[in-house]
């Protein structure tokens, strides 16, 4: 019945698809707004009229969400909030919102681009509006004319995902956090604080945390304001029992993994976007205590999928507004997160897809005999890719550069004959990836008196992380390593044993560091590498003295995210080959990058491949170790790969690193074997990711499984 009524009251979508202009048809000038269909793309907002003409309504940034309020229109854009009362005259309403500063370095000169920090979600309720940024929620009572920070629902780390606002009957703001679930705040109450409401929400297995809530929707059902929620990584819908402060499941397909987002409730209908489908159900089932029955909207999906063939961009969101009325209210359709149903068109991503390979230590590639062993393994296991250091973990160049600017900053050490190596790889049809360790660089850190180094603000010298532990004097004398430093303590029987982390870092804010790494990438691309991969593209995280780290190249208004984004933007402008980045497994699992600057959601538009290190040995040993515990490697790689792809909105290919090494931790001691490694690859395959890379620092690959088929 719902499907019939929507067909009756919605515009005939397939009719529009048939009458849409071809890409060669010029876009008409803006006209008084009469179109029943709005489309948000990467360059702006457009209206599709009944005659098939595409009208430009607003340009200047991407449009991610379209909302129609009581007497206004609002766009969530790539540069903040756009507001209009007639859908043709727009103003930006960003007063009070934080700005992200991107540094640009060209021809030896730097400049800056200021953009509003990325907005993760936006909702309105009457004149009230709320929006979510990664580390705070902002609230407005005047239709966005001014914004006030409500702080973060979790002070422990960033990772806000969704937001909503309602009157219950007091003004109430809801927000979801990637790790810590849903919280609410009533700003009119004295001493108002964020309060968690997570009872009833499914938890991530073996943890105490609710799995991420993707969207929160507010609707009037049977005359009562009601709050609903969906989950990002499992197909579940909830209704909030406000009086009892708990969520009740109202629909589930019981899948282990699946995405539900863009939750919409209006005029008697539930609607959401999931993997390759738009689903709809009649909300009146809830009133009759009947289960929700969702059916796919095949007509709407076909229309959205046809759009990229008829307009020169892929839609981010659509809004269908009609004059037809129903007893439950005006029928509208507003859908965002359309990446869930659209295909990726980045040609660099396609070039990097279908690659499975291994990390090849340089010292095992400098002679034909050593290399032949790995080439035989690659052929035997059906692999087609190698990743090899060109600037290694010690900042050493493992090739002889032709560019004198590279030689001026780097040190060549035991280099591979690059031209010969690449010729052999191309002859064998092996895809080549040049690994460049970006910001962990002891060689560059000591150049020019530490000019490029992360600086120690306590001791006025290049910073290096260390850990202190208090030990008995006799034990320290007997067990201290050669690199340990023994310091006195306030107890005569004890000393402080200081162990330095074997890492030295250069400043990620430094545009000269960017230039050096970009020059290396450019030369390696030009000499024949198929892909450029950056590792340690992050800030240092280890040491009791992290608070002493100073970043002297940091310009006013920049944070860790903007440093990494500025660097990637700099590189992207200089090379055309696919760019891949290595990230911590946890940064691909959760929507946060607070310590490292590795926030996948922000980085994905700038790169083509993301390589999470989901090594089971590196997670908490009980994480996803439920029975049967030996399947833990499969679970981590299957769910982790899907989560990272979702957080990245499929803008980048996910090609995980697979653990092909043993680490002396409790889980590995019990379970590490060839099946341990094989199950990781099976997990990646089940997640639909076309690629993976084995890591073993010593080049020992006796544990990798036999050939089971190339990734598709």
Mean pLDDT of 267-274: 89
Write out pLDDT tens, residues 178-203.
999 999 999 999 999 999 999 999 99
**In this model, does residue 708 exceed pLDDT 90?**
no
Choice among 9-13, 348-352, 495-499, 622-626 with the minimum mean pLDDT: 9-13
How many angstroms separate the CA atoms of 659 and 655, rounded?
Answer: 13
DSSP E strand stretches across 392-484: 396-397, 411-412, 431-437, 455-456, 461-462, 466-472
**In this model, does residue 13 exceed pLDDT 80?**
no
**In this model, does residue 305 exceed pLDDT 80?**
yes
Write down the pLDDT at residue 507. 98
Write out pLDDT tens, residues 133-157.
999 999 999 999 999 999 999 988 8
Q: HSE-up of 703 (CA within 13 Å, CB side)? A: 22
pTM of the predicted model as reported, rounded to 2 decimal places: 0.91
Write out pLDDT tens, residues 80-101.
999 999 998 999 999 999 999 9
Q: What is the distance between the terminal CA atoms of the chain, rounded to a whole angstrom?
A: 40
Q: HSE-up of 621 (CA within 13 Å, CB side)? A: 10
**In this model, does residue 465 exceed pLDDT 80?**
yes
Write down the pLDDT at residue 692. 97
Contacts of 678 (CB under 8 A, 6+ apart): 705
How many angstroms separate the CA atoms of 297 and 301, rounded?
Answer: 6
Q: Where, residue-wise, is CATH 3.20.20.80 in the chain?
A: 347-463+504-695
**In this model, does residue 44 exceed pLDDT 50?**
yes
**In this model, does residue 540 exceed pLDDT 90?**
yes
Write down the pLDDT at residue 538. 95
Contact 105, 70 (CB under 8 A): no
Write down the pLDDT at residue 16. 29
Write down the pLDDT at residue 322. 62
How many angstroms separate the CA atoms of 550 and 241, rounded?
Answer: 48
More confident residue, 185 or 268: 185
Specify which residues 259 forms β-bridges with. none
Write down the pLDDT at residue 492. 85
Write down the pLDDT at residue 611. 97
* Tokens standing for residue 17: 């698809």
Write down the pLDDT at residue 291. 87
Q: How confident is the model at residue 521 (pLDDT cuts 50, 70, 90)?
A: very high
More confident residue, 116 or 595: 116
- If phi > 0 it is left, if psi is from -120 to 50 it is alpha, else beta; for residue 211 that is beta
- Residue showing tokens 């539930």: 270
Mean pLDDT of 310-320: 85
Mean pLDDT of 432-460: 97
Write down the pLDDT at residue 18. 29
Write down the pLDDT at residue 489. 81
Write down the pLDDT at residue 303. 87
Element spanning 599, H or E? none
Distances 395 to 135, 398, 435, 462, 571 between C-alpha atoms, Å: 34, 9, 12, 15, 18
Write down the pLDDT at residue 690. 82
Is the dihedral angle over the CA atoms 307, 313, 314, 319 positive or is it negative? Answer: negative
Is the dihedral angle over the CA atoms 150, 154, 157, 163 positive or is it negative? Answer: negative
What stretches of 548-661 show up as alpha helix (H) in DSSP? 560-572, 585-589, 600-603, 632-647
Write down the pLDDT at residue 522. 98
Instruction: Report, at the CATH architecture level, how domain 347-463+504-695 is classified.
Output: Alpha-Beta Barrel (3.20)
Write down the pLDDT at residue 490. 82
How many angstroms separate the CA atoms of 146 and 81, rounded?
Answer: 11
Q: How confident is the model at residue 485 (pLDDT cuts 50, 70, 90)?
A: confident
Write down the pLDDT at residue 266. 83
More confident residue, 623 or 10: 623
Write out pLDDT tens, residues 548-575.
999 999 999 999 999 999 999 999 999 9
Mean pLDDT of 445-463: 97
Write down the pLDDT at residue 477. 62
Write down the pLDDT at residue 349. 94
Mean pLDDT of 274-291: 87
Write out pLDDT tens, residues 208-257.
999 999 999 999 888 899 999 999 999 999 999 999 999 999 999 988 89
Write down the pLDDT at residue 4. 28
Write down the pLDDT at residue 156. 84
Contact 231, 212 (CB under 8 A): yes
**In this model, does residue 326 exceed pLDDT 60?**
no
Number of CB atoms found within 10 A of residue 616's CB: 26
Write down the pLDDT at residue 312. 73
* Tokens standing for residue 277: 């489908």
* Tokens standing for residue 430: 């092996």
* Pairing label, strands 160-167, 148-149: unpaired
Q: What is the mean pLDDT of the chain?
A: 89
Q: How confident is the model at residue 306 (pLDDT cuts 50, 70, 90)?
A: confident
Write out pLDDT tens, residues 340-379.
999 877 899 999 999 999 999 999 999 999 999 999 999 9
More confident residue, 695 or 154: 695
Mean pLDDT of 155-178: 94
């Amino acid at each position: 019945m719902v499907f019939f009524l929507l067909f009756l009251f919605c515009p005939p979508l397939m009719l529009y698809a048939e009458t849409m202009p071809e890409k060669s048809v010029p876009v008409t000038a803006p006209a008084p707004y009469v179109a029943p269909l709005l489309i948000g793309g990467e360059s702006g907002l457009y209206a599709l009229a009944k005659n098939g003409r595409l009208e430009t309504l607003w340009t200047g940034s991407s449009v991610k969400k379209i909302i129609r309020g009581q007497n206004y229109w609002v766009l969530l854009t790539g540069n903040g909030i756009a507001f209009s009362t007639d859908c043709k005259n727009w103003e930006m309403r960003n007063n009070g919102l934080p700005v992200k500063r991107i540094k640009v370095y060209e021809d030896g000169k730097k400049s800056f681009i200021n953009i509003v920090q990325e907005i993760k979600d936006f909702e309105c309720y009457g004149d009230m509006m709320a929006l979510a940024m990664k580390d705070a929620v902002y609230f407005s009572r005047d239709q966005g004319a001014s914004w006030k920070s409500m702080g973060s629902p979790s002070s422990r780390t960033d990772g806000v995902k969704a937001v909503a606002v309602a009157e219950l009957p007091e003004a109430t703001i809801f927000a979801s956090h990637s790790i810590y679930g849903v919280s609410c705040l009533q700003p009119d109450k004295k001493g108002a604080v964020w309060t968690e409401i997570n009872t009833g929400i499914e938890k991530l297995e073996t943890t105490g945390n609710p799995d991420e809530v993707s969207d929160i929707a507010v609707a009037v059902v049977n005359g009562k304001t009601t709050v609903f929620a969906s989950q990002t990584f499992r197909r579940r819908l909830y209704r909030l029992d406000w009086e009892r402060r708990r969520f009740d499941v109202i629909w589930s397909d019981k899948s282990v993994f699946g995405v539900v987002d863009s939750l919409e409730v209006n005029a008697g209908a539930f609607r959401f976007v999931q993997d390759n489908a738009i689903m709809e159900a009649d909300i009146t089932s809830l009133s009759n205590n009947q289960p929700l029955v969702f059916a796919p909207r095949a007509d709407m999906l076909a229309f959205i999928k046809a759009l990229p063939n008829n307009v020169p961009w892929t839609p981010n969101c659509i809004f269908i507004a009609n004059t037809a009325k129903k007893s439950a209210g005006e029928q509208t359709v507003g859908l965002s997160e359309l990446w869930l149903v659209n295909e990726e068109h980045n040609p660099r991503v396609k070039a990097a897809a279908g690659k499975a390979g291994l990390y090849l230590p340089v010292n095992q590639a400098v002679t034909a005999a050593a290399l032949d062993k790995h080439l035989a393994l690659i052929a035997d296991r059906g692999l087609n890719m190698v990743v090899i250091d060109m600037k290694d973990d010690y900042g050493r160049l493992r090739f002889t550069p032709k560019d004198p600017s590279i030689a001026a900053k780097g040190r060549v050490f035991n280099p591979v004959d690059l031209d010969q190596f690449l010729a052999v790889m191309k002859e064998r049809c092996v895809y080549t990836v040049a690994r460049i360790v970006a910001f962990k660089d002891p060689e560059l850190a000591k150049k020019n008196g530490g000019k490029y180094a992360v600086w120690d603000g306590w001791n006025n010298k290049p910073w290096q992380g260390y850990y202190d532990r208090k030990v008995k004097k006799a034990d320290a004398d007997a067990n201290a390593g050669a690199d340990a430093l023994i310091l006195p303590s306030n107890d005569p029987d004890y000393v402080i044993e200081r162990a330095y982390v074997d890492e030295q870092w250069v400043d990620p804010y430094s545009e000269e560091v960017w230039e050096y790494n970009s020059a290396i990438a450019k030369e390696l691309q030009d000499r024949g590498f198929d892909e450029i991969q950056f590792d340690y593209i992050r800030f240092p995280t280890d040491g009791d003295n992290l608070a002493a780290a100073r970043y002297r190249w940091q310009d006013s208004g920049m944070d860790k995210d903007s440093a990494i984004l500025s660097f990637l933007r700099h590189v992207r402008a200089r090379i055309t080959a696919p760019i891949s980045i290595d990230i911590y497994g946890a940064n691909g699992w959760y929507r946060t990058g607070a310590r490292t600057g590795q926030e996948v959601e922000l980085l994905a538009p700038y790169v083509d491949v993301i390589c999470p290190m989901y090594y089971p040995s590196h997670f908490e040993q009980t994480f996803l170790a439920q029975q049967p515990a030996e399947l833990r490697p499969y679970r981590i790689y299957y769910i982790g790969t899907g989560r990272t792809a979702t957080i990245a909105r499929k803008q980048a290919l996910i090609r995980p690193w697979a653990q092909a090494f043993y680490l002396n931790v409790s889980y590995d001691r019990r379970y590490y074997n060839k099946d341990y490694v094989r199950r990781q690859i099976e997990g990646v395959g089940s997640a639909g990711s076309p690629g993976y890379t084995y890591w073993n620092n010593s080049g020992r690959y006796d544990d990798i499984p036999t050939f089971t088929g190339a990734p598709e």
